[in-house]
Amino acid sequence: MSTVHVKRAFKYRFYPTPEQAAELARTFGCVRKVYNLALAARTEAWTLRQERVNYNATSVMLTAWKKTEDLAYLNEVSSVPLQQALRHLQMAFTHFFAKRARYPRFKSRKKSRRSAEYTTSAFRFREGRLTLAKMAEPLDIVWSRPLPEDAQPSTVTVSQDAAGRWFVSLLVADPAVLPLAANQNAVGVDAGLEHLLTLSTGEKIANPRHERRDRERLAKLQRELSRKARGEGTNRAKARRRVARIHARITDRRRDHLHKLTTRLVRENQTIVIEDLAVRNMVKNRSLARAISDAAWSDFRGLLEYKAAWYGREVIAVDRWFPSSKLCSECGTVRDTMPLNLRIWTCGCGASHDRDVNAAKNLLAAGRAVSACGAGVRPQRESSRTGRSAVKQETHGATRGLPRLQTGKDVNDCSLTSRPRLRR
């Protein structure tokens, strides 16, 4: 019986020759052009004729475009990245129709990511040397970490970031990624700004504030960029790259830190409970937008979820309206108010709480309830300290408006009281 291994992308930096850089730049431009042409054709077909155009139809269009005089330059690059661009557009529409994403947008020459994807028919990988289609020499790759033994890439993605750095990503099956031995550890994780993460164990992980460390240097370079004449001038391009290098350094440090944190949490705990934060809405707060963006809570959740899937762990996201900060983890009483500047508070039962540690403990308790029976987890708001009473639901209408907390089970499956929506 064959074992199905996890497919994993290994990303490396490489340094192209001038000829390779020119070829890749042409490929990036052609990929962007084909994507935009196909998107325009699909949009026009639906707007004017109520006709849906799929990937096969756009592939036929691509063949016709290559035969025209204006688009004959598409024949100068490998056809595989162009076909992959059409597949990516098809996937974008699939996500749109499934209501997982917005309508696909046109790619911009200045703002969109510069990348091209090659499948096995468009590259050769032998003895650790990667040669792409239309190129005579292999890429000069810095092998910063080894590939899995006998790895054979199924796809290769070449990209260039705003700072001018070149990267190649190889998708290979990694036999080293196996489910970890199960344990009984569970942890609640409360995200914040003063501390990046607070665990239900009481541990607090400091917020590195990567952007703040380079803020003065970044502001200086941005002022220099603003003084350059607008357009395609060399001086402005140099100033823009200097700004982009600072942003790239901030991003690299932040992502490295999040990778280390998420790997540790997944290795140590069987169940990890987090809060379903609406980060897109939270960054609308002008006072906190920069700090929230620098914390990168969405990136943290994304890394945590895919690593948990790799290693056989469970991540539970508790409803964002669950008042984890207002709820006493000892007696279950919910406070009426909880201003952000209140970090230590004492409940009427006499228990003294650190705001973040208390929230992490409540998230852990809520996550365990959800894991056990898919229950609604909002406690009752009353002074009788009967916060988490177990009263069976009698009618379906009593639970109307309560969420399904990523377990596939309705709140009626468990004997917890339905409660009104409370703001945290």
Catalytically active residues, by annotation: 190, 275, 356
355, 411 contact by CB (below 8 A): no
Strand partners, 130: 125
CA-based nearest residue to 198, from 212, 187, 209: 187
Residue indicated by tokens 């032998």: 126
